[in-house]
Amino acid sequence: MRKEEIKMTNKLFIGSLDYKTTDDQLKEHFSVIGTVLSAKVITDRYTGQGKGFGFVEMETPEMAKQAMNKLNGSQLNDRSISVKEAIQREGR
């Protein structure tokens, strides 16, 4: 039986964000690695305050992997952020 090759996507989950982090700050932080297609901090729909996590889409899976390796544990707005591959939730 052949194992399927697991391919990395170019979408990343970013955790441990400061609640005041903006989309632009997130994009700027990841742009040191390469082209950022999108950067979105998830906010509370009622207060507009960040929920402490977001998503970044890099141009290529290789850039996403490099961002995970270099930016996981890096400082953004005085917080040590976590960077992981984003996993598609079932039913979405």
CB 39 within 8 A of CB 6: no
Considering the entire predicted model, what is its pTM? 0.90
Give the CATH number of the domain where residue 54 resides: 3.30.70.330
Residue 39 lies in a domain: yes
Residue 3 lies in a domain: no
Tracing tokens 């400061």 back to the chain, one arrives at: 18
User: How many structural domains compose the chain?
Assistant: 1
Residue 19 lies in a domain: yes
Residues with Cβ within 8 Å of 58's Cβ and at least 6 positions away in sequence, in order, are 10, 11, 12, 30, 33, 34, 35, 36, 37, 64, 67
Residue 62 lies in a domain: yes
Residue 2 lies in a domain: no
Q: How many whole angstroms separate alpha carbon 5 and alpha carbon 49?
A: 39
36-43 and 50-58: which strand pairing? antiparallel
Residue 92 lies in a domain: no
Q: For position 44, what pLDDT does the model report?
A: 96
Q: For position 6, what pLDDT does the model report?
A: 61
Local mean pLDDT, 10-residue blocks, the chain (92 residues):
64 97 98 98 96 98 97 98 91 63
Which range marks the domain in which residue 59 is found? 11-85
Residue 61 lies in a domain: yes
